[in-house]
Every structure is written in structure tokens, then in C-alpha cells.
Structure 1
Amino acid sequence: MRLRRHQREALDAIAASEDQRHWIVLPPGAGKTLVGVSAALRWGRPVVVFGPNLAIVEQWRQAWEDVAGGPTSSDRTLPTRFTALTYQSLAVFDAESDAVQGTARLHPNGIALVERLREAGPITLILDECHHLLQVWGALLDDIVCGLPDAQVLALTATPPALLTPVQAQRVGRLFGSITYQAGIPALVAEGDLAPFAELAWFTTPTAPESAWLDARALRASELVTELLRTDGAGIPLLTWLALHDGRDLPRETADAAVRLALAGHLDLPEHAHVAERHRRPPTLEDWLLLASGWLMALREGTEPERERARRLGGLLPGVGFRLTRHGIVAGQPLVDRVLSRSAAKTLAAAEIVAQTLAEDPDARLLVLTDHASAAALPADVDGVLAPESGSVRWLLETFVADPRIAGARPVGVTGSSIGAQAEVMAHLLPGLTGTSAGSEVVVIEGTSAGWLRAATRALESGWTRVLIGTRGLLGEGWDARSVTGVIDLTSATTSTAIVQTRGRSLRTDPARPDKVAVNWTVTCVASERPQGDADYRRLVRKHAGWFSVDEYGDVVEGPAHLDSTLGPDLPPQSLPNLNARALSRSADAEGIRAAWARVSPDRVNAVATLRVSGRRAPHPLPVLTPVGTRTVPLSVLVVGVVAAVVGGLAGGSLWPAALVVTTICAVLAGILTRRRAVAMRAKAVAGPSLRDFGAAVADALQERGLSPRGAEGVTVSVAADGETRIRLDVPPGIDDDAAASQVFAEALDEVLGVIEHPRYLVSRPGWEDRAPRWYESGSPRPDTEIWHQVPAVLGVNRACVDAFLASWHRHVGPGEVLFTGSPEGAGALRALRWSSPFGDAAGLTVRHRTQW
């Protein structure tokens, strides 16, 4: 039995643990099943496995028979040494006992199974894809695991811990403690256990009928905001009311909305506000309503004219998808989101991706996933805007068959209750089926048959069919086809489980195609100029949060930035045709994708926080010439000369000529170095400190105070083709706190570079307003002004930290002083500097946080 590296490491970690409960995180395709079988064989106990569906249960039974031999079963009576069951066989809830919690809610069959588990003695209990227990049957997990104190419990999942909800993470910690072993997808791709891949996005806009409907909603939203801003109505005007409230008392989402309104000029920035990337976009309708909710509640408790105004505003809310309740403004039906997520334009976009991919790669095998098998009910408000079949498997199949660029790939649609294709394709796919004949029309057969899915999968694996369309529920978790080279995601699911499992379909290596490169697409409909028109983009952001892939520069990046480096988590894109063109170009560059993954270290287990700095006033990436500290070199050279002269004099006249020569050479060298130092200082004065200078100052100070395992030597600076500078603190793989250290560094450096808000300390450096400094007679630059930066909060907690930072600042940035903002002088300086940027106007410098592997 040959084990991969990460399988061996997982088993070693289990063996090294003294606990009886183990939590293992391995991505789809990493071989979790073999890890579970191997661990169970080592323990030598009866084995009971729970999985989320019958397909996975059958995989476990087959794996055990292949490795261990002997009979297996899926019988609740546990008649064999190895039993595999679905979670549903355990959690058959009794509808008549809803008021009772825990196992008492189980149907008698479920209770009997729990009792058999307890009576079986010491057993091995394997919980495969255990995130299902956390999400659906979490209350039962506590009862069952805690009720089996002698069991060896092995929980397996593909969902990284960072993507668990707080409730799920709390339950994992209570039941399993720390994670026994985890391996990320980037590490497995680098190791060669998963296929190299790229994630791309195709952006489309709504169709004409959809746009007309959105325009009507936009008009209603505009009328509502106008009404909110009226100052001649009853009661205190909204903006006045907001200005009277302290932002510190607001929930985070509401406080963020207040900052966005302030940056747009509607309010003053709250005194204790923090301006981050998420705030640098225009306020949305949701922002206005979050802030107006409390004001409306106050109006409802006021005079009769104020109550009447509240009723009038409340009557406008349903027209934009909200309603006013006694608890404030709440969202109603997300109709705009529904229109965008099921836009007919997304089906056409999927057809374009399929056609382009098939033309580029004759061996491509594509999986197109959607939510609906056929027609789905729609709210009355969008009747006539969306077709009930829009976005369904049937709709996609008919669109693909009608496209001559795709029809030759013999697309097949399969759901839990149907299978469809062109008549001639169906005749080949299901030869024993009557009623099909040669022809180009689409034939769909309704019913249920596991054989249909097997036939469609075989056709895809063999290449006879190159496009398979289906629902995420059928072709997601538990379904495998190693030949799949790409997934086109049209689904609306955004849970971490759905995303990991969906994209995992294409990441498996293919023995028949060792050079396989996978390309996955997320299709998104954007109407950013309309209220709530970014709903589908926000869905895309949630789908890619925590997911790593290569960007166009070959870096492995988390979030939407790996789709295109210009994309961020907050602001939807504008130039859609350019984005799509770049994505198509990347999809065809299999060699570039493969080469990017080849540069990734399989030893790294944590991602690294990275700052991306751009703008017309951004610091130079690297020092122009030499560090400030070169002023000590000429002095050392002169000392050598003086010592040589003294030694020569003491030794006698015969050594004087040699000493004179040495002294003369040293003096010449000192002059050369002095001139070089002057040139360096002039260049540095004109250019200002580099981004690396600032990063080195922060890194060294963090290391000196024990907050980082590395100092300036770990600072890495690179410049992308578009001029954006990327800076991070690289910590060698194997250091446990590498991710935490890089995050502390990124946050601290962001504070140094960012707008001055409310720091405890300020630090200065010389500045030249016109970038053409005057000079002292000694040749040193003479500043016109002092430029002030924030001392990072983590280094401003006490005077020892501040002194360490100032010393590092002197070494890498230049002369300067610190100022305590709690002193009268410091408070005055802070009042004058607050919300200003050390690099001129705030728009001249953009700093974005990203996470990189």
C-alpha cells in the first residue's frame, strides 16, 4: 500500500498523539479514505464509518475491501467488523419530539443504533466529511462522541479550519481540541498530489428585460434616499441625528456604513473611526438603511408628524426589498439578488466559456454546475423578467446543443431525476433505451436511475462526451471523475463546504493525462451602477474567501485577487470586457499555470499576509542607493590609517615611509567613500525612504521586542508588471507562528504608511516639499519640513517598544523623533495631522491587504 507524503504525515501525527480524538483536514483528492482505513487497521478495533451520502459510503466499503479484505456491511445491526452508514441513518428525527433536545429527538431506529455503538465495546468511529455534523446534526455530535468514551474517534474533513463558523470552531475545539493534522491545497498541488489549477471569473451584465426591471428598482431607491435626506420634514434630519451619535456604540456593519458616508462627504469622520479598504467605496443602499433604522425607530416614538413621516418612509421600503418592523429595517425578499444570480446572461456566458475552452483544448472535459434541475418557482415581482427555467440543467443543455461550437462535444445533462442529450447521443449513451433515435433535438428522460449517472460519468471519462451539466447536489461531494479539467460554477451556494467540494471535482490528478491543468470558472452578473447591483459579485467574493489559487503574476493568493489582481473584496469591477479577455488568455496558458505552482514550496503550511502598495505618491520599492548607516565607513578607514601611522612612528624611522603610504591610501579611500555617501544621501533625500526601508524598520523592531521570529532580512519586496509593489515578511516553513508574524508585520506597516488616525505615538522624518532639498555646507540635506507617521499600535504599548522602534527607524529610514499624543504638544500635533497622509493627499497612496501562500 503506497501512501503519499501527506497521508504518511497524517498517520504519523495520529500515532504521535495521546488523544483518542483526532481531527484531520485534507482537501478533496488528497486520499482521506485511505488515511482512515490505515488508521483503523493500526488500532485493530471494529470500525463504524459515517458519511454524508450513499456514494461515499460505498467508497469506504470498497476501500476497506481493497486494503484489508473481509466482509463489509451497511447494516445498522453492525454484523461485520467494518460497517459504513450514512449520517441520515443515525439522525432520523422524530417529528413528534421536536421540543426535546439531543438523542431523545431521534426516531427509535436511530436510538437503537446509538445503543449498539455503545454496546460494541471499544470501537473506531470515523466521521467522514464531518463538517456535515457541524452544520446539520451538530447537537447530536456532542451526545454521540461524548457517549463513547473508549472509542478512537477520527474526524475527516476537507473544510479548512479558517473557514469554519464561530459555532463550528467552538464545537470542534470542545470535542477534538487542536487539529491533529492539516494540509492545504497549495501544498498538495506543489507536492504533485493534486493537479495545478487556476480560478477565473467571467463577468456579464443583465439582459435587456432584466436591466429594465433593475432600472425601475433603482428609481425607487433614489426616491427613498432623497426622502431620507430631506431636511424640511418632521423631526431631526437624518444626517443631524447621525452626527449626534457616537460611532463607538455602533455595531461593526453600521459603523462601517457611517465611515463610508463620511468619506463620501455626508458626515464627519467619527473620532475613533478606522479607515480600511472596505470603506473606500461609495455608500450602498444597505448603508443608508442601516444608519436610518435607528432614526426611523425614533421617529415612530415621536410626535404625530414624526410618526407620519416614519409611516411614509416605511411604505417606500418594500419597493426596494426591505420592510420596517418594530425592531427596525429588515431585508425582505432579495429580488435583485435573485435576478442577478439567475440572469439569462449567465447561461450565455457559460456557453461562451465552453466554446472557447473546447476550441483551445481538444481534450478538455468540462463540468457545468447549477442549482436547479428544471423550472423553479419565482416570486411574482419578477414574473416576466426571468423565465422559470433560467439557469436550470435543462435550459443550459438546450443552449449548448443549439450552439454549433458546442454541439459536437455531445453535451449531456443529468440530474437526480432525469437525463438528457441530443437524440443521437442518448441512443449511444443508453443503447438499451427504447424511444430514442438519431437526431439533433434534445431528448430528456424523467425518472430515477443510478445507471444514468454512471453512464454519463463513463462517457465523460472516455472523452466521448466532453461536457457534463448537472446540479451541485448530484455532481459535487462523493462524485468523482479524474478526467475533469474544469468546473464552470453557476451555483448560488457560498458555504465553505460547497466551494471546497465543487472545485475539488477538477483537482484530482489523471493518470491518463499526467500534464493535466485544471481551470475553474465562476460566472458572475454585475450591475454595479444600480442599487444592490453588486449582489452577485458579493457572492463571488464569499465563494473565493479562504480559497487559494494563482494570479496572473504567478503568486498563489487568497480571495478574489487570484481571479484577477485588480479585484478586491469590496468594489465590483468596471471594465468587464478587459477582465474577460485577460481571463481567456490565462485559461489558455497551461504552461504558465503549471510553472507558477512549481515555484510553491510543499513545506509551507500557512499563508502569509501581504501588503500591496500603489499610487502616484507611493514610496519607491527599494532603496535608491545605500542605507543611511554608510556614514560609519569613512571613519573606520581613517582609523586604520591613523593606527598605521602611530605604529610606524613607534617602531622607528625605517617604517615611516610604509606608514605614510598606508595613511595616504586610507585618506584617498575615505574621500571616495565620503563622496559616495554624499551622493547616496542626496539621492535618498530626493527619493525619500523606500518601501523596503519602512518595512525593515518595522520588522527589526518587532523582532527586537520578541513579536516576530525574523527582522529586516525577512522583508520581501517585489514589483508587479502593473507597477504595484508587494511587500511581506517571509518566515521559513516550519516555524509555527509564521502566519501570525506576517499578519502582525502587515498590520504594523500599514499603520506606518496609512492615514494618521488616533495613535499613541507619532514618529517624524525629514521631508522636502518640492523634492529638491537644500543642502548644508557639510553636504548633508537640509529638510524643509517634518513628515509624521503613526507608530504602530503593537509597538506603541510602552516606552521600551517605542524606543526599539525609534532605533530601528533611525537605522533604516533616517533621523526623527517620537511624540506622545497624550502630551499637550502631542495632542496638538495629532489634532493638526489627523486624517492626513504622510504621502500627501490620501488618494495618492493605496494600501491593500492580501493573503499569499
Structure 2
Amino acid sequence: MSHDFPEIRFQGQLRPSQADAVKIARRKLAAGQRRLHIVAPPGSGKTVLGLFLWSDCVRLPALVLSPNSAIQAQWADKIELFSAAGTEPHLVSTDSDQPALLTSLTYQSVTLPGRGGADDEGPAIELWQDKLIEAGQAKDPQEAAVWIEDLRRHNRSYYEQRMRGYRKQIRDAASLAGGSLELLHASSLRTLQRLKERGVGLIILDECHHLLGHWGRVLADAHELLDQPVVIGLTATPPDREGKRPEDIQRYDEFFGEVDYEVPVPAVVKDGFLAPSQDLAYFVRPTREELTFIANADEQLHELVAELCRPVETDEAARQVDVALDAQSSTPARRASPDFSSGADRASPVRYRTPVVGETTTSRMGNGGPASADRIAARAGTGGAGGSGASSDETSTGEPLSDWLLQVLIQRRLPTGVVKDWDSFQKRDPTFALAARAFLLRRGHELPPQVPPPETDVGPEEYPEMALLTPVLDRYVRHHLRRSADAAHRQLAEQVVRRLRMLGVQITETGAQACASPVARVMAYSQSKTEALVPILSAELQLLGERLRAVVVADFEKTSAVSAEVEHLLDAEAGGAIAAFKQLIRHPHTDALQPILVTGSSVLVDDDLAPAFDEAAQQWLVQEGYEVELEFGEEDGFHVICGKGSDWCPRVYVALITDLFQAGLTKCLVGTRGLLGEGWDASKINVLIDLTTVTTSMTVNQLRGRSIRLDADDPQKLANNWDVVCIAPEFSKGLDDYLRFIAKHSTLFGITDDGAIEKGVGHVHPAFTELKPEGLEGSTSLLNTEMLTRAGRRDEVRELWKIGQPYSAEPIRALEASPLGGSGGFPPFKGAREQWNDASLALAIGKAVLLSLCDAELLGHPGMLHVGQRSGGYVRMFLEEARDEEAALFTQALHEVLGPLDRPRYVITRSVHAARDTWLSMILPAFVGRYFQRRELRRVMLHAVPSVLARNKDLVAVFEAHWNRYVSPGEALYAHHGPGKELIAQARRQGWASKARVHEKEIFL
């Protein structure tokens, strides 16, 4: 560190999160670490933090690099918050020609590539020639050269366009090889040399998630040129790695290393430096026409699966399948439930017996049905380890899908060979092992004894259909049909590939992967989603009145090219910002918001607003010193704004419209995520409606960051962030948009209705799980009503955030369950006056489990049991102030007690006192008559004894004692045979086996 560095002091006080980051940075710098990686949300004070680390910790001349000039200027402006002792004539500079103690520049200024130089022209032309030869457009380099030269002379603009592309490929190859500095423009090289001469000892890379490409390659090499200064990477979110080069990802990870400190959004909200928010969701169904299209695609797939489950013996049969499937036209727009089966296949469940090692094939032949145990076992060989029959490369013999799956499971056959036991099979391919069993169970088959049932809390019918079909059909096509000697089977394989592609699955040589899906596109850009803007914004307007500042964000101004399959449903505007804008101006409630659309190429203004907009815009342009003449092109219900003059550009008109929005000239902006995302700020936003399809952490967090800026004029601000989700759960791809919604929230923190902070979609509603929305298929209107009601509870939600109170970054393990079942009736104890409800019952069961674990000396410091009620009938339970390993043990034990029976070792019954009327209770007034009711003991539920307490009879006795004291009289029975096993069968037949949906989560307090 330099002794000549002046004393520079921060004139304010660091926020708690900033102070924590500084503490960690000091420790790591003292230990010799020269690279720091800090993640902090927009509005958390990254700029001040970076300046403090520079002035107080590193104390060396610094270079700050930012992705644009606006952020570059922020660094220079924030230096005013610091005071320098003595005189320092060049404390800060934004001029690359005059570096200062702190030099703030853009990434472009030091990474600008040389353009059109002779050095890369030759290699670029050679690459172009190679591409022409490879594509069959030229037979040799000479012929390709003639074609290129002819293009240069007759179509110069296209020639230059193609040359820019090939030059970039040459530069990329060189920079990936470590030669990026040699490709830089002379001005960038001069800038780097001046910075080296200035003695730069620190580089601060702001929004460093942008460095997964050319910028990152150059800076990795420039770091060496500048004698390896200290590096601080600052970003609001980790980078989006999808589609990036592996070399770039590896270099980024090596350059920055692990994240040293991450500032969670809730911590900044609780500190009072970001506005609180709540996440809400509005659910819609596709339109009738869209549903018909989705149903047709679905039905064609199910018809194909039905064919796969019946033998196809000849080429003619395959041809008939092909004709039948392609001839389908319209189908009903709704099915009762997706089971990818024909009724005949489900009508006759098949039972299996375990093949005996050494038993002859003949002795196992029988008269079973289409997939009888004997026939399957005969094909499968002995069923012992290694089997005697099928190898991984056996020739297909034409088994129907269900038969083939059973063979694979019985033999434990992987693509690479047969494994010795089931655990090995499941470990090697857990996705297929689960999907194959669930597929068979959903078709009415029973699994053979040597194939264990799926170990999950949900039944096979709960899984999304495509999650089961994709791995099953992928394996069947690649390892059975395509390898068949029969052309009919190979033709059927192509049918499967085509049908799956329609639903977004591409079967390649190496496996199944996601691809563009016409059905998914219809769901994502459904007209119903645009129509949902009206009820949402109408409700928000009624709640906020003149204070409403809403932003609607779409992916694009218009959608990209529409495929032929859906062009009758989706026009060029479907799902885009223009469609949203037109929807708003069509309805009187939302037209009153005076909406404005702003994109990178268009400005549209509601026709009612045009005169006021013209006056306000002219004043702003004059005030800011811009020379622009506005023109208004009149359309149906709106005006298209064009500006004459060199000053008119997106940077200017976005600033103009943002200021008018802040001032209240319009209450609603409609735009694209590219323009209204990273770097755009409008502090008064209190409603954000997200119509985008993006799910990457980087973009989602940047978008959500727009609405949580503090508003100086509204200290009680709470932003409502809305997602609009299109669902049709009865169809194979009907939850695609819901799964996209899940992915969006996977990295988002939010406040829940019981005051906890939760990461993931559960903070929006407890019924939203990663698998599917629970119990909502027929009640979207009720859910939407609840969400619109919650929108008006801003004060209550703000209280739940507990702003000003400390935030613990340590997660707490929690359990959520619904419905508990049998929660009515009275506790079966003398003197019980209040009936069980979900919360009181959960508390009693939780207490029995907790005290049992303590008495068994499995818990040392258990903490305090907390039980809270959530919306939708869910109950949340967790231990406060417990060690993580003890909280994990308690959570697992409670999960086993409350969840569905999954091969428990011991079970125990739960009973309640049910009130029965007498003749006297019926004739007396209710408040008196209840004292004359009789109570009788009624068994209502069968529960598992937690496995950790079922290891031996002594532990079982401990649990039984606490269960009898706090929950219900009952005897714990061994469940693997005898009365206990019979009791489980009875409970399942009579409906008192638990069907609770149980989820383990991590929350923050």
C-alpha cells in the first residue's frame, strides 16, 4: 500500500451490510488475497462500498470500469461523499487521456477492438472461404475467392456485414488463446499504457457479470499488463451462464473466484435502504382457440403413446399409425385428467411374483395378460444380478412400451449394461428409474416385487406428465425402436420424435433436450395474459389513485418470428409490449392511466394524453438543452411520437418519459426488459407487472430491482410485483408457464404471510411448489381474488417486513403441511373445550416429536417450537435457535409423522373425541345444548413413527408415551407384518392414511 496516498475519509456512516462487507474485505486483504467478489442488489450502496474499499482499505490509485456512461458518471459523482486531506488536484477523472487517483471509465474505452485492419482481413476471408466450401457453395478456395470478390464489388454493404462477423470470429479465437491485447484499437492500448504509468494498483469492475465475453478476455490480459493490481468485482447478480463459452465461464470463475460476500435483498430492506415489496401472481387460462390447439397437440401425443403400448408388427401397421395421427383435426379443448393411457390398458392391473434364480424359462410361462409376470420374467431372464438374458445392446424384438419398461426395470438394464442391484440402478439413472415406475403405476400396472415403489411424498398422478414421458420415451426410442431390425419400429421412432418436438422436447443421439415448442409459445404469449392487465391495474388504481406508478414489462416490442404451426393464433404483436399497450387503451379503466409505451425504437402515447405530453415534453427538451421537433402520427386510440433532430435518440426520450412518469403525467409505462431493466431507475414505481419469459437470475433480479428503490415522497412505499401465469394443468405442457414462474422465483427472496422471509416461489403462496400448484386447478378465480385482496394490504405487509429490526442471514429449516387431515373433533383428553384446528394439532404433534427426541437424547439444545398458520390451510413449523443438525433431525422426524406412509417400520393411530347429539342437546339452544352432547372416541388417522425413533422398542416406547400424552391414545405397532401391516392396508382402504402435502423449506427471520 502506498505511503503517498492521501487521507480520504467517508463523511457518512456505512450501512450495516456495507460494514460487514468491509470487515470481510479487510480480513481477506490482510491474508494476502488480491481479488474480492461482492454481490449486492441495486440500491444497496455498491458505489459507496467500492469507494470506501479504495480509500480506506487498498489506498492505491484505482481504475473503475462500468458498462455504460451513466454508471461511469455515478462513481465520479459519489466521490463528493468523501473528503480528502490536503490538496489533491487530480482526485477523480472520467477522461481516459488524464488518469487521476481514481479514474472512472467504461469497459468499452479499454476493450475497443481494432476494426477493419489488414491483420485480420486475410484470416477472415480464409474463414469465409472455408465456410463456403463446407456448405457446398464452392468447390475450392479459388472458386470461393472469386465469389467473395464479386460480392465485394457488387454488394458492398452485405460484404462488409459478413466480414464484420468473420473478423469477430477471428478476434474471438485469438482472444481466447490469450492474445486479446494484440487485437485492440490503438486508443484502448494507449489508455492502458497511461493507466500503467499512473501506477494503478486497484481495478474495480462494476456490474462484473458482463465479463463473460470479449470484455472479460481483454481485462484478464490487461491485468497482467498493469502488473496484477488488486481486483474488486461488484455486481447485483451472478452472470447468466447459459449459452456462454466454457472457456469464458472458466476464466470468469478463475478471475473472480468464489463470492466473498453477498448482501441479501431482505437485509437492505430491513436496514431501511430499499423499499419493501410483495410478490403476487395472477393466473389465467388460454383462450378457447389456444386451448383447442394445445388439446390437439396433446391428444396426438397420447394416441401415439397408446400405439406404443400395443405391439406394432408390420410396416403397414406403422403406416396406419402415421396416417391416423396426422389426420387428426379438432379434439375437445379439455380433458378430465392426463393419464397418457387408453382405458383398455388401465382396466387390468397386472401382478408379479419374484423370479426364482435357477427356475427354468418354461416353468415361468403362463397365461397372463398383455404384460403378465411370467411372460415378462421369461424375457428378463432369471432376474438375478447381472441377469442371464438382455445386454445393453440387444436387438429389439418389438415389445410394447409397457412390457419393455418392465423388462428394463426387472433386469436393472442401463444403456451401458446390467447392474447388480436396484440401488446401483437408481443411483446411476434416478430420473429414468422414477419416471418408468411412475409411468407404469399411472397406467394401472403393479410393480414386480423386486422393483420398489417410488420413495416420494406424492403419488405418480401428481407428477407433471412430460416429466415422466420425456425420459421414458427418450430411452424407448434411442435404445429400442431405433435399434430394431423392423422398419416399422424405426418409423414409429420418428413419429415419437416429431410429436415430442411439438411439445418442446428434442430427442438427439445423446439424449432428450429442450427445444422451442409451439405449445409452450402459445402458453407464454397467450392473449389471456395481456387481458389480465385490466383487472390487475384496475384494482391497483382503485387502491392507490393518483399515487399509482405502474410499469408493464414485456420481452420485446413485438414477438420474434412466429412459426407456421401457431401463426393462426399468435400475430407479430402477441405477447409483446405493443399488444399490452393496445390492451390498456382499449379498456376505459386502464385507458384512464394515460399509458405510454417506450421501447428502443418506438414511443406511443395514449391519444387523450397527446396534448399534455406535447407541452410537457417541449418544456423538458428546452430545459435540458436538446433541439428536437416532435411529430405526432395519429393511429387508432394513440399517437406515434417521432423526433426530428440529431438529439432524438433512446437515451434522450427514455430520460424524458421517465421524468414525466415520475411527475405523474402518466401513471403507466409499458416497455421492454432491454430498455427498462438494468441501469434504468424510477423511484416512484409501486406496481411492476412482469410479462417476460426470462428466468435467468441476472435478468430477473435486475428487473425486480426497478421497483424497490426508495421514494422520498412516499416513506411508506411498498411495491407490488405481479407475475401473470397461464396454466392448463390437464394438458402435457399446460404447466410450462407455471414452471417458468417457478424458475423466476428460485433466486428471489420475499415476505410470506406469516412474517418469514423465504427464498423461492413459496413466498408468493404456500400452495406453489416446484412440482405443481397444489389444489388450484379448479380454483384460479379464488386465488386471483385472494391476490387482489392482498394487493390492498400494503400496510400489513410492510409491518411483516419488520423494518429496523436485525436480519439473520442464517437459514432456518422449516416444514409446511396441508391438509393435516382429521383436525376436527376434540382432543381426546378430559376437560378439552376447544376442537382441534390445524395449528393446535400441529403444535401437539410437534411437541410429541420434539420431546421424544430430547428424551431419547438425540437432541441437546432443541430451541423453541414455532407453529404458524399460512393461507390455503397450510401450517408452518420450525425450531428457533436450534443448531442446524438438530433442526434437520427434528424436521425430518416431523416430516415422516405428518407425511404419507412410506414403508414405515412402526405406525400409531390418532383418535379424536367426536361430539354426538342427544335428544336434550338438540332441543336446547346451541350454546347450552353443547354441554349435553356425548363424546365418543373415533379413529381418524394413521401416522408413521419417525424412523429415528423406530430403531428399537425402547425408542418406540418413548415416542408412544409422548404421543399418548399430547396427541391421542394409541399403540405403536410394527408395520412390516402382522396387525400393523393389516392396519396400514385398512387405513388406505378407508381413507385415514395421511395424504398431507409436506414440504421442507429454508426461511429467514
TM range (shorter): 0.7 to 0.9
* In 2, Cα distance between equivalents of 1:274 and 1:85: 56
Corresponding residue for residue 359 of structure 1: 542
* In 2, Cα distance between equivalents of 1:568 and 1:818: 32
Query: How big is the shift at 1:366?
Result: 1.0
Corresponding residue for residue 639 of structure 2: 442
Corresponding residue for residue 729 of structure 1: 879
3-state SS of 1:508 partner:
coil
* In 1, Cα distance between equivalents of 2:494 and 2:242: 41
Match of 2:996 among 836, 840, 845: 845
Residues 1:541 and 2:619 aligned together: no
Corresponding residue for residue 584 of structure 2: 400
3-state SS of 1:103 partner:
coil
Residues 1:428 and 2:591 aligned together: no
3-state SS of 1:292 partner:
helix
3-state SS of 1:226 partner:
helix
3-state SS of 1:201 partner:
strand
Unaligned runs of 5+ in 1: 626-677, 773-780
* In 1, Cα distance between equivalents of 2:940 and 2:530: 59
Q: Residue type matched to 2:230 in 1?
A: Q
Equivalent positions of 1:754-769 (< 5 A) are: 754-757=899-902, 762-763=905-906, 765=908
Match of 1:31 among 16, 36, 45: 45
Residues 1:264 and 2:442 aligned together: yes
Query: How big is the shift at 1:475?
Result: 1.4
3-state SS of 1:416 partner:
coil
Query: Cα distance 1:838–1:34, how it changes in 2: closer, same or farther (>3 A)?
Result: farther
Match of 1:336 among 514, 519, 528: 519
Match of 2:767 among 539, 559, 566: 566
* In 2, Cα distance between equivalents of 1:209 and 1:758: 46
Corresponding residue for residue 400 of structure 2: 237
Query: Cα distance 1:287–1:378, how it changes in 2: closer, same or farther (>3 A)?
Result: same
Query: How big is the shift at 1:521?
Result: 0.5
* In 1, Cα distance between equivalents of 2:656 and 2:559: 24
Corresponding residue for residue 714 of structure 1: 864
Corresponding residue for residue 456 of structure 1: 657
Contact 2:899 2:994 in 1 (8 A): no
Query: How big is the shift at 1:89?
Result: 5.1
Contact 2:908 2:945 in 1 (8 A): no
Q: Residue type matched to 2:102 in 1?
A: F
Q: Residue type matched to 2:571 in 1?
A: A
Contact 1:619 1:691 in 2 (8 A): no
Corresponding residue for residue 707 of structure 2: 506
Match of 2:895 among 718, 730, 750: 750
Show CA shifts across 1:578-632 (max 9, x none). Answer: 12111111111222212222289523213323212223636789x959xxxxxxx
Q: Residue type matched to 1:731 in 2?
A: E
Larger mean CA deviation between 135-144 and 231-240 belongs to: 135-144
Corresponding residue for residue 631 of structure 1: none
3-state SS of 2:519 partner:
helix
Contact 1:257 1:283 in 2 (8 A): no
Query: Cα distance 1:820–1:564, how it changes in 2: closer, same or farther (>3 A)?
Result: closer
Equivalent positions of 1:298-337 (< 5 A) are: 298-304=480-486, 305-314=488-497, 316-337=499-520
* In 2, Cα distance between equivalents of 1:805 and 1:531: 44
Q: Residue type matched to 2:398 in 1?
A: G
Corresponding residue for residue 123 of structure 1: 201
Match of 2:944 among 779, 789, 796: 789
3-state SS of 2:594 partner:
coil
Corresponding residue for residue 603 of structure 2: 419
* In 2, Cα distance between equivalents of 1:52 and 1:557: 32
Query: Cα distance 1:217–1:86, how it changes in 2: closer, same or farther (>3 A)?
Result: farther
* In 1, Cα distance between equivalents of 2:908 and 2:311: 46
Query: How big is the shift at 1:459?
Result: 1.1
* In 2, Cα distance between equivalents of 1:784 and 1:355: 50
* In 2, Cα distance between equivalents of 1:367 and 1:599: 25
Residues 1:466 and 2:667 aligned together: yes
Aligned CA-pair RMSD: 4.6
Contact 2:111 2:184 in 1 (8 A): no
Contact 1:370 1:490 in 2 (8 A): yes
Query: Cα distance 1:121–1:695, how it changes in 2: closer, same or farther (>3 A)?
Result: farther
Corresponding residue for residue 794 of structure 2: 590
Corresponding residue for residue 18 of structure 2: 7
Larger mean CA deviation between 314-323 and 445-454 belongs to: 314-323
* In 2, Cα distance between equivalents of 1:587 and 1:459: 25
Contact 1:25 1:156 in 2 (8 A): yes
3-state SS of 2:532 partner:
helix
Larger mean CA deviation between 293-302 and 151-160 belongs to: 151-160
* In 2, Cα distance between equivalents of 1:138 and 1:706: 55
Unaligned runs of 5+ in 2: 1-11, 85-89, 114-167, 314-396, 413-424, 622-627, 916-935
3-state SS of 2:766 partner:
coil
* In 2, Cα distance between equivalents of 1:420 and 1:204: 27
Contact 2:814 2:878 in 1 (8 A): yes
Show CA shifts across 1:689-741 (max 9, x none). Answer: 95445534655677799987741x42212234654322112227xxxx65x65
Query: Cα distance 1:495–1:316, how it changes in 2: closer, same or farther (>3 A)?
Result: closer
3-state SS of 2:674 partner:
helix
* In 2, Cα distance between equivalents of 1:302 and 1:248: 26
Match of 1:581 among 769, 775, 785: 785
3-state SS of 1:475 partner:
coil
Q: Residue type matched to 2:232 in 1?
A: L
3-state SS of 1:203 partner:
strand
Q: Residue type matched to 2:38 in 1?
A: I
Query: How big is the shift at 1:782?
Result: 13
3-state SS of 2:680 partner:
coil
Identity of aligned residues (%): 29
Match of 2:297 among 196, 205, 217: 217
* In 1, Cα distance between equivalents of 2:908 and 2:292: 56
Contact 1:398 1:442 in 2 (8 A): no
Equivalent positions of 1:156-171 (< 5 A) are: 156-159=234-237
Corresponding residue for residue 169 of structure 2: 95
Corresponding residue for residue 71 of structure 2: 56
* In 2, Cα distance between equivalents of 1:369 and 1:331: 25
Query: Cα distance 1:416–1:308, how it changes in 2: closer, same or farther (>3 A)?
Result: closer
Larger mean CA deviation between 445-454 and 695-704 belongs to: 695-704
Contact 2:54 2:202 in 1 (8 A): yes
Show CA shifts across 1:213-249 (max 9, x none). Answer: 2232223222222223224657112112222324615
Contact 1:259 1:275 in 2 (8 A): no
Query: Cα distance 1:717–1:105, how it changes in 2: closer, same or farther (>3 A)?
Result: same
Equivalent positions of 1:76-155 (< 5 A) are: 79-87=99-107, 94-99=168-173, 101=176, 103-105=178-180, 108-109=183-184, 112=189, 121=199, 123-133=201-211, 151-155=229-233
Corresponding residue for residue 602 of structure 1: 806
Corresponding residue for residue 634 of structure 1: none
Query: Cα distance 1:792–1:840, how it changes in 2: closer, same or farther (>3 A)?
Result: farther
Contact 1:411 1:467 in 2 (8 A): yes
Corresponding residue for residue 650 of structure 1: none
* In 1, Cα distance between equivalents of 2:991 and 2:939: 15
3-state SS of 1:617 partner:
coil
Q: Residue type matched to 2:309 in 1?
A: L
3-state SS of 2:709 partner:
coil
Query: Cα distance 1:55–1:262, how it changes in 2: closer, same or farther (>3 A)?
Result: farther
3-state SS of 2:808 partner:
coil
Contact 1:749 1:792 in 2 (8 A): no
3-state SS of 1:55 partner:
helix
* In 2, Cα distance between equivalents of 1:209 and 1:164: 34
Query: How big is the shift at 1:132?
Result: 3.5
3-state SS of 2:553 partner:
strand
Corresponding residue for residue 307 of structure 2: 227
Question: Number of paired residues?
Answer: 776
